[in-house]
Structure formats: C-alpha cells, structure tokens
Amino acid sequence: MPSATIKIFLVHGDPKRLRTAEISSWTGKAVAGPRTEFEGVVAREESENSGVYFLTGNDPDTGSPAVYIGEAESIRERIKNHIDKDFWNHIVFFTSKDENLTKSHIRYLEGRLIEQAKRAGRSLVKNGQGSGSRLPESDREDMEIYLEKIHQLLPALGVEVLVPTSAKPEVESEQEILYCEIHGLKATGHLTPNGIVVLAGSQAVLDERASAHQYPWVINARMRLKGEGILAAESGFLRFTKDSEFSSPSAAAAVVHGGTANGRTAWKNNSGKTLKDLETV
C-alpha cells in the first residue's frame, strides 16, 4: 500500500465525536461519528451525495463485533432507515468531492467491501451478499484505487473491519515466529500492530487452571473462541482452527495456558529468547 498523508478534522475538537478525513490528492472524503451524533452526521452536506457506509457495533446475541455495509445514491436518506438497527453505535461513510460516483460504482464498492470484510473475519457482517456490479475495466481500476483509500482511512478513524487478522507481517519485529509452550503443547504466532496473532494449528490446554476462576475474562475468552469454532477440542487438548488475533501477548498466553500468564516471558523465539528479551534495547 502506498504512503499517504491523511488529514483528519475534528469538528468539535474531540477525536471520538464528529470528524472528517481526507487523503491528499484524492477526491474521496470520509465522515465519521458516534450514533449519539447521528443528526450531526446526516446534516453534513456530504451526506447528500452517493457513496458507501459502515455501521459498526456489537451483535446483541453474541457480543461479537458487527458491521453493516451499504451503498446509497443519497447517504442521508438511506442511513435514516437504519435507526431501527440497535447493534450499531458508530457510522462512517465515504463519498466523492467531485460527485463522480455513479450507482454502478457504489454497488461495485459495496460488493467488494462486504467480500473483504467477511474475508478479514474481524466482525460479523450483518449483510447478506452485496449487490455488486459489473464495470468497464477502466472504471473497475478506478474503484480498486478508491477501495485502497478506504482501507487506509478506516483504521485511522478507529474502524478495523477490513484489516485481516492474519495479515502478512510487514516489519522485522512482526516477522519472527514466536512459540508459547505448556505441558508439551505448543502454540505459534507473530506480533501485529494490534497485538499478536496465534496461528491455526496452535495448541492450548483443554481445561482451565483453578486460579483462572479468579480472572473470569480468561474463561470468557476461551468460551467465546470455542463458541466461534476457533478453539476445537481434540484428544487431550484444544486446537486453533484458524488464525486468531489477541490484543496482547499476555491475553494470548492466558488462553493457551488456561489461566493468567505473562506474555512477555511466555512467548519465545526459536532460540529460546523471551519476547521481553527481544524487546530490550
């Protein structure tokens, strides 16, 4: 992905409230805000234009992150129809300053974004299949560039639904494979900008330690991963069925160990050096 200069304007001076975002030399624009400022978001002039939008929050049944991705020729009119959806608490929409996004363009973008969000696996996608649209080759290439800009701006606005949990490591500190072992079981992973990814095939203890009951979040995390099918029981242990990202090495080690653990010492490289030692300058 090419380097970019992002300009974020805080309308009220608060980074959690209404804000706009642009990338230099790009005709697109993003507007974001919490549900509590819905009226302010739809009052923006940009919301009269065509574009794509993201409604993000948590699924009430599972508690997992959730997203709805849509398209509209008038963002303002369409998103008013989503007030009855109670899962979302934040909105981001993308439009174009030169008003060159046609219905075919935004349908194409919606279809690609739904596909990418499902592939990323960070959130439950509340849509069915996106409508999608066939475009001439030149238009399709233009929209792929537009998608690239969305990928750059969304995380800067606090929305990571398109970021793959198993993204290829890009810097040296993320490339080294780390190991977390206990009772002959082994988990492998690598660092990410958000924490650490435990790779598919990794092993974890079958039962929680007695001390885990003092820290219910460990039990809850393992129950959630089992419920999502990410941790599957095998003969005497649990196995990760797919890559899973954790916010910290300690959170990942706790799931592997079945109880709280210091991730800085639990994770080691192939030479036996702990993560703590590797991070010591």
Examine the pLDDT at 281 and tell me if it is beyond 60. no
Amino acid at 83: I
Question: In the chain, what are the domain boundaries?
Answer: 6-156, 172-279
* Residue carrying the six token digits 């049944």: 61
Let me know how long the chain is.
281
Residue 257: strand, helix, or coil? helix
Of 21-25, 90-94, 277-281, least confident by mean pLDDT is 277-281
State pLDDT tens for residues 121-147: 888 899 876 667 788 999 999 999 999
Q: Is 145 exposed, middle or buried (0-12, 13-18, 19+ CB in 10 A)?
A: exposed
Q: Is the dihedral of CA 225, 228, 231, 234 positive or negative?
A: positive
Q: Quickly tell me which residue has 């009119």 as its tokens.
A: 77
pLDDT tens-digit map of 194-247:
889 999 999 999 999 888 888 888 898 999 899 889 999 999 999 999 999 998
Alpha carbon 48 to chain centroid distance? 28
DSSP H/E element including 219: helix 216-227
In tens, the pLDDT along 23-79 reads: 998 999 999 999 999 999 999 999 999 999 999 999 887 778 899 999 999 999 999
First and final CA of the chain: distance in angstroms?
Answer: 29
Instruction: Report pLDDT for 172.
Output: 62
**pLDDT at residue 212 in the model:** 82
Give the burial class of 49: count Cβ atoms within 10 A of its Cβ; 0-12 exposed, 13-18 middle, 19 or more buried: buried
Closest listed residue to residue 256, CA positions, set 272, 279, 240, 235: 240
Which of 238, 258, 234, 256 is closest to 246 using CA atoms? Answer: 256
Chain segment 141-182, per-residue pLDDT in tens: 999 999 999 999 999 999 999 988 765 666 666 678 999 999
